[in-house]
Amino acid sequence: MIFSKVRRLAGELTVPGDKSISHRSIMFGSLADGLTEVRGFLQGADCLSTISCFTKMGITIENNGDTVLIHGKGPKGLTAPAGVLDCGNSGTTTRLISGILAAQDFNVTLTGDESICKRPMKRIMEPLSMMGAHIESKYNNGCAPLEITGSRLHGTHYLSPVASAQVKSAVLLAGLYADGETRVTEPYVSRNHTELLLSAYGADVHTEGTTAILRPGNPLEGLKLTVPGDISSAAFFIAAALIIPDSEILIRNVGVNPTRDGMLHVCRMMNGNVTLLNETNESGEPTADLLIRSSALKGTVIEGSIIPTLIDELPMIAAMACFAEGTTLIRDAAELKVKESNRIAVMTENLRAMGADVEETDDGMIIRGGRPLHGAVIDSKKDHRIAMTFAVTALAAEGETEILDADCVNISYPGFYSDLHRLFRK
Ligand code: S3P
């Protein structure tokens, strides 16, 4: 797909539902008793992988486009699937479902696409094994396919070396079935959608500092839920409006949970003009409309506890930093190397191809802004966030940019290119 410079952006849009919350609504709804009704569900390939896995385990899920109905059967209502469970490209599906499957009274093999079969799964195998789970990596390389033998689980206090909501959530979900309390302590707080949504379903879960605590035994009951817009998808439009001169856009109903809103803080640190309007609450998750106006950006330092709150936005932030005056340092972000692609290497290589001054470090990037960018051929590595980042970057660069495997945006944002195009102004 080819992109070139646009004069300005203007207009309003609503981004699709939050990916993390959409996944969790299916999983928790399946384990609850009774009906769960989800509005604003993200119809991206990752969330459809989660629906497909639970359907194969005997849960009736009606997907009518925007609204999804899940006929939950309670925590012990899942049945053995006929074959392997395919998690596609989705790390969230693979890791969270492992916590649930570890405690069933049947055995399952989990697999996924080429990218999933390279991503680290030891990070969930270790804590789940401490709880009594039996999980083997089929090729003994710490990756999927995973062979999970359902077992009796015990509570644990896991000190996670990484701030990862997928690890935390896998352990908490296993904790629903354990014979005692489960605690997960992280170096920094990661997104807390599992804690919020499980608690809305009736689970006894709370947070103390960087520790999430779950006591098993409470029944889970179906609920009605409206999923807010995904800030990780809004991030591409926020950056686009900031870097393209004379732009002004309004993004309606975006989730601004404080464990996810790091990009908004960074925009302010970079002198970006982002205003929150109509702040409210959607099913326990804070939301707002975001008004963005193009701005003269300046470099900043992004490190420490803010990193988990913007981890998926870092590719777009790195590209945005190329349009800022001065240097931007991204540190403490080694997790970027184990996402859908090695996002430090892929961002550095592709931004350089467009003429940017970017250096790769062990745990981030050094971006010296201010050099004009030019078009290039961008290999997205089939990573949805890389493709969307460069579609936006190309709109502020001279000449043409070709994005390879551009259709990978379907993983998290099927209508991305048409939504972006609708904002173009002459
Ligand atoms: C997610 C957690 C994050 C994030 C991913 C979704 C989740 O991953 O990058 O896109 O829904 O829990 P990690 O837990 O590996 O940081």
DSSP letter (8 states) at residue 220: P
> Would you state the pLDDT for residue 45?
98
Distance 412 CA to ligand 1 centre (A): 13
Grade residue 283 by pLDDT with cuts at 50, 70 and 90. confident
Is residue 299 a contact partner of residue 328, using CB atoms and an 8 Å limit? yes
> Would you state the pLDDT for residue 426?
83
- Is 294's C-beta closer than 6 angstroms to any atom of ligand 1? no
DSSP letter (8 states) at residue 89: T
> Per residue in 350-401, pLDDT tens?
999 999 999 999 999 999 999 999 999 999 999 999 999 999 999 999 999 9
> Per residue in 413-422, pLDDT tens?
999 999 999 9
CA dist 291 and 371 (Å) reads: 27
Averaged pLDDT for residues 405-415 = 98
According to CATH, the superfamily of the domain at 2-16+228-425 is: Enolpyruvate transferase domain (3.65.10.10)
CA dist 355 and 396 (Å) reads: 13
**What are the residue boundaries of the structural domains of the chain, listed by start?**
2-16+228-425, 19-226
The residue whose CA has the least distance to atom 5 of ligand 1 is 92
The residue whose CA has the least distance to atom 13 of ligand 1 is 164
> Would you state the pLDDT for residue 282?
82
Distance 169 CA to ligand 1 centre (A): 10
> Would you state the pLDDT for residue 354?
98
Distance 92 CA to ligand 1 centre (A): 6
19-226 has the same fold as 2-16+228-425: yes
Is residue 18 a contact partner of residue 415, using CB atoms and an 8 Å limit? no
> Per residue in 244-271, pLDDT tens?
999 999 999 999 999 999 999 999 999 9
Question: In CATH terms, is domain 19-226 a member of 3.40.30.10?
Answer: no
DSSP3 helix / strand / coil % (the chain, rounded to 5): 35, 30, 40
> Per residue in 116-148, pLDDT tens?
999 999 999 999 999 999 999 999 999 999 999
Identify which of 19, 20, 230 to mutate to test ligand 1's pocket (most ligand atoms within 8 A of the CB).
20
pTM: 0.98
Catalytic residues: 312
Work out which ligand 1 atom sits closest to the CA atom of 338: 15
Is pLDDT of 66 > 80? Answer: no
> Per residue in 197-233, pLDDT tens?
999 999 999 999 999 999 999 999 999 999 999 999 9
Peptide bond before 414: cis, by omega within 30 degrees of 0?
no
Residues 6+ apart with CB under 8 A from 181: 155, 175, 213, 214, 215, 216
- Is 92's C-beta closer than 6 angstroms to any atom of ligand 1? yes
